[in-house]
Amino acid sequence: MRVDMEARSDLGRVRKNNEDNFAVVPELGLYVLSDGMGGEAHGEVASGLAIEAIRHHCVEWANNPDTPLFGDPIPNLPPRANRLASAVRLANRAIYESAQRHPSQKGMGATVVAIWLDEEQMSVAHVGDSRLYRMRQGQLEQITQDHSLVAEQVRRGILTQQQAETSQMQSVLIRALGIDPAVEVDAEEHPVLPGDTLVLCSDGLNRMATDPDIGSVLNTSLSAREATERLIALANDNGGEDNVTVIVVRVIAGTNGLLARLWRWLCGE
């Protein structure tokens, strides 16, 4: 499939080290972003372990379809989305076991959001508050639901969105990788359309910039690279209080034109 893609990670303006990590495997259409936590440089250890475990498991499965799944398959989900969920469970285990072995790493953890896409569909898996947005026909939609305390309270109607945005509890996650021996992974399969723009980001973006501002940057950027640079600049201009990592994937039209459709129709596909 044809995509225009850019991924960047920035320290921000306040933090001394960057605890975010990301990985891109273009030949698979796999994009992974992780935001680590835990003092004394252990945040980046956790996010690095997450990224490596996920990349390794997905590449392994692409080369060998008999690679066993880790954890129980989620019903009604295609194999690739289940594979991604399996990879995220392995990432959880890798961080958890490392923290058990090394007392200094106690309490480290990470969030993750990952997508794996082809021309028509995208598998999504996430844990924590790193997000996936999708811009389609000029409309921005947050695809993942944060596993944070305030997001849960908004979902249950206990806080309004405005209260959530000023809450002191914004940094409290209710799910993350590496905290417990097992983790519940949210995984979904979505259709992908030519013209869609997908954005994976750490909370350093969406806590510094509003959704309308993010949408406006995406709508007025001519390339993934321009969008990525402007989103990072937006977060830093608004304070840059945290590391900010952004992956922008623009799905380019081309395989779904009238001729291609006519051809597929004639071939009976």
Partner 1 sequence: MAKLILKYEAAVLKEVDVGATPVGIGRAPDNTLHVDNLAVSSHHARIFNDAGKLVVEDMNSLNGTFVNSQRITRATLKPGDVVTVGKHSIEVRGEAEAIPNAPMPAAPAKPAPPKLQETMVLDTKKRRELLAAAMAGGAPADAQGATQTQAPAAPPRARIPWLIVMQGKTDQHEYSLSNKLTVIGKSSMATVRLVGLFAFFAPGVAAQISKRDDGYYIGTGEKVPKVNGQPITGPTKLNEGDVIELGSVKLNFVYRD
Binding residues (CB under 8 A) for partner 1: these are: 35, 37, 39, 76, 109, 120-121, 128-129, 136-137, 139-141, 145, 149-150, 152-153, 155-160, 162-163, 166-176, 179-180, 188-191, 193, 203, 207, 241-242, 256, 261, 265
Q: Is the Cβ of residue 59 or residue 149 nearer to partner 1 in the bound state?
A: 149
Distance CA 133, CA 211 (A): 9
Q: Are 169 and 73 in contact (CB under 8 A)?
A: no
Minimum CB separation of residue 160 from partner 1 in Å reads 8
Q: Is the Cβ of residue 24 or residue 77 nearer to partner 1 in the bound state?
A: 77
Minimum CB separation of residue 225 from partner 1 in Å reads 26
Q: Is the Cβ of residue 60 or residue 104 nearer to partner 1 in the bound state?
A: 104
Q: Is the Cβ of residue 60 or residue 118 nearer to partner 1 in the bound state?
A: 118
Angle (nearest 5°) at CA 174 between 168 and 176? 115
β-pairing, 131-136 with 139-142?
antiparallel
Minimum CB separation of residue 218 from partner 1 in Å reads 14
Distance CA 161, CA 122 (A): 28
Q: Is the Cβ of residue 4 or residue 241 nearer to partner 1 in the bound state?
A: 241
The pair of three-digit structure tokens given for residue 99, joined into one six-digit string: 């923290």
Minimum CB separation of residue 227 from partner 1 in Å reads 19
* Cα torsion 224, 207, 185, 91: sign: positive
Which residues lie across from 23 on neighbouring strands?
A: 32
Who's near 216: CB < 8 A, 6+ residues apart? Answer: none
Closest CA to 36 of 120, 98, 128, 123: 128
Minimum CB separation of residue 81 from partner 1 in Å reads 11
